[in-house]
Amino acid sequence: MSVIHVDVVSATEEIYSGEANCVFAPATMGEIGVYPQHVPLISTLKPGEVRVETENGMESIFVSGGIIEVQPDTVTIFSDTAIRANDLDESKALEAKQRAEEAMSNAQSDQDVSTTQAALAESMAQLQMITKMRGKRR
């Protein structure tokens, strides 16, 4: 059976690199399985588990969203290190703008609820994966 080269990277580190029989990733439109000779594909990922099936068993990696690029012989997964959500990014942008205004004058800034919400969504996904892995072990 042919193999496919898998790289999982995040902005701060290289998480996984090696050959695999197949890869499963949580794409936004539903989980996808990638075997060698897959057609080229680019998709966004949602928070969840990436499973890499190798000769020596299954490798499980948690990603908090990101991007997957598939080429016939390679798969590259860009894992996010940051928590993302549209309204959250918006609030961060606002904060940055506010800091600029503050620097120019001297105004006050305050926090937003969506920070907590997105953090909650991520820890929920993490929790789900942990309970799943515990179930497997028993």
Partner 1 sequence: MAVGKEIRTQISSIQNTQKITSAMEMVAASKMKKAQDRMRASRPYSEKILNVIGHLTHAHSEFKHPYMTASTDVKRIGVIVISSDRGLCGGLNNNLFRSLLKDITVWQSDSIEIELCTIGKKATSFFKNTGLNIASVLTDIGDTPRFDDLLGVIKVMLDRYDAGELNQIMIAYNMFENTMTQVPTVKQIVPMEITETEGMDHYWDYIYEPDAEEALTALLVRYIEALVYQGIVENMACEQSSRMIAMKSATDNAGDMIKELGLIYNKARQAAITQEISEIVGGAAAV
Residues at the interface with partner 1 (CB under 8 A) = 7, 9-14, 27-29, 39-44, 66-67, 69, 71, 76, 78, 80-84, 89-97, 99-100, 102-104
Q: What gap in Å lies between CA 3 and CA 120, rounded to an integer? A: 37
Could you list the beta-strand ranges (E) of the chain: 4-10, 14-20, 22-27, 30-34, 41-54, 57-70, 74-79
Nearer to partner 1, 116 or 131 (CB): 116
Nearer to partner 1, 3 or 27 (CB): 27
Nearer to partner 1, 14 or 135 (CB): 14
Q: What gap in Å lies between CA 100 and CA 12, rounded to an integer? A: 27
Least gap, CB of 11 to partner 1 (angstroms): 5
Least gap, CB of 42 to partner 1 (angstroms): 5
Least gap, CB of 95 to partner 1 (angstroms): 5
Least gap, CB of 90 to partner 1 (angstroms): 8
Q: Quickly count helices (H) and strands (E) in the chain.
A: 2, 7
| Paired tokens of 29 | 């439109």
Number of Cβ atoms within 10 Å of the Cβ of 19: 13
Least gap, CB of 105 to partner 1 (angstroms): 10
Nearer to partner 1, 41 or 58 (CB): 41
What is the DSSP pairing of strand 22-27 with strand 4-10? Answer: unpaired
Nearer to partner 1, 1 or 104 (CB): 104
